[in-house]
Amino acid sequence: MRVIVAEDQGMLRGALSALLDLEDDIEVVGQAADGEQALRMIETLDPDLCVMDIEMPKLTGLDVAERIKEAKHGCKVVILTTFSRSGYFQRAMRAGVKGFLLKDSPIDELGAALRSVHGGGRAVSPELAMQLWEAENPLTEREREVLKLAGAGLGAGEIASRLFLSHGTVRNYLSEAIQKLDAKNRIEATLIAERNGWLG
Amino acid sequence: MRVIVAEDQGMLRGALSALLDLEDDIEVVGQAADGEQALRMIETLDPDLCVMDIEMPKLTGLDVAERIKEAKHGCKVVILTTFSRSGYFQRAMRAGVKGFLLKDSPIDELGAALRSVHGGGRAVSPELAMQLWEAENPLTEREREVLKLAGAGLGAGEIASRLFLSHGTVRNYLSEAIQKLDAKNRIEATLIAERNGWLG
DNA sequence: GATTACATATGACAGTTGTCATGCCGGGAA
DNA sequence: TTCCCGGCATGACAACTGTCATATGTAATC
């Protein structure tokens, strides 16, 4: 099978590519260091599979997966990520991702997952299977935007002018987010939202 | 040369170990998933080198490096980390670390670095060499403690009772930290301190 | 057509946060 | 020993934050 490896961390990308290439039935035809590059490679090289990190520059792995699905491209996606955030997993499933592994798993699982997915199956790290039933993102679009900026250290006034809202509205959104997430203040709220993948 | 790989992320640990083991002159004699395990392996297996991540459970790679130095153990350390935080690099140098690579570098550099260090040399990612002259941590011990807790979402009152300080003192420390780091508020201050490795 | 969810806004209030002046104590450097 | 630094504290003040009641408009849903 012809595979692309998309991962921004050079060492891991190189190591995985080299190891996968050693397998008789796997050929690594491209390596991408960010989402845009991955997308271009998938279009031009038409691989069977793509091993993809989520947190990459320019386009996240989930963005890429969604575009592949829209374009009805046959390339199957196996997500390989550090974090078991429920938001990520749910979004990946909706994007038609076939495999979802944690970077914490042993490497053997990667080859196994690729073969399983290539054969039409699925492959999901056992730690993640249960997350299908976990909480959905309770935040609205606006609440997310506001919370993201608050997490970057901006005050209500600054957030307001960036989003062309009134300063009171911003505080209302923050207050709602804080309550929805059962936090004490904006700091805890961003922590919680982040941990669940609700801001990405 | 006999090498130990200490890295908490299973996939990277496995991949690096497998690749290094393919080299004729390198033998991976142990793999550790956290700092304590790494320390024990170094004591029992007496390897020539240890490839070590910084951010690991229980003991960080820098903690381990410092203990190795104290114990005057001959094992040389090559740090392999995601972040080019000046605080990390400076602390590593003081701990007698011989190699410091970013996980962003290509893998070939790892083998090269190990050989160089084993031969008595040093190996430092070029992006990092200049950091020797960068800003030292301007925060005092107390300011760091307080800032860490503030970053976890605690308010002044809570921080005060955890550290057995008055609530006013906590706010003084936070105020000082905010000014030293040239931030607008505690949120930005934690972001800046974190980015520079001044909280770890 | 009524209900519900979201985006938006205002004004008021209490509580938290950031700043500053000022003070005390102990340890180390000049 | 005197002076400064760090740790610790207080009180006061302005600014920011979190909450609430209340209001309008626009979709979607029932």
| SS3 call for B198 | coil
Q: Is residue B109 part of a domain?
A: yes
Q: Quote the tokens at residue A170.
A: 């911003």
Mean local confidence (pLDDT), B186-191: 94
- CA gap B44, A43 in Å, rounded: 51
For residue B9, the enclosing domain spans 2-135
User: Over the stretch B22-64, which tens digit does the pLDDT of each residue have?
Assistant: 999 999 999 999 999 999 999 999 999 999 999 999 999 999 9
Which chain B residues contact residue A12 at CB under 8 A?
11-12, 15, 103
Nearest-neighbour CA in chain A from B72: distance (Å): 30
Contact A185 B14 (CB under 8 A): no
User: Over the stretch B13-25, which tens digit does the pLDDT of each residue have?
Assistant: 999 999 999 999 9
Say whether the CB atom of A173 is under 7 angstroms from strand C.
yes
> In Å, how far are A199, B49, B144, B168 from B72, measured between CA atoms?
47, 14, 30, 45
What pLDDT is recorded for position A197? 83
Q: Is residue B75 part of a domain?
A: yes
What pLDDT is recorded for position A149? 93
What is the secondary structure of B95-131 as a DSSP string? TT--EEEETTS-THHHHHHHHHHHTT--EE-HHHHGG
Q: How far is CA A37 from the centre of its chain?
A: 16
**Do B6 and B84 share a domain, yes or no?**
yes
Say whether the CB atom of A168 is under 7 angstroms from strand C.
yes
**Do A80 and A156 share a domain, yes or no?**
no
With beta carbons less than 8 A apart as the criterion, state whether A183 and A189 touch: yes
Total number of domains constituting chain A: 2
Q: For the domain that residue B158 is a member of, what is the CATH number?
A: 1.10.10.10
Single out the residue in B105, B135, B165 at which a domain terminates. B135
Say whether the CB atom of A155 is under 7 angstroms from strand C.
no
Q: What is the percentage of chain A residues whose pLDDT exceeds 90?
A: 71
Closest nucleotide (C1' vs CA) to B178 is C18
Q: Is residue A200 part of a domain?
A: no
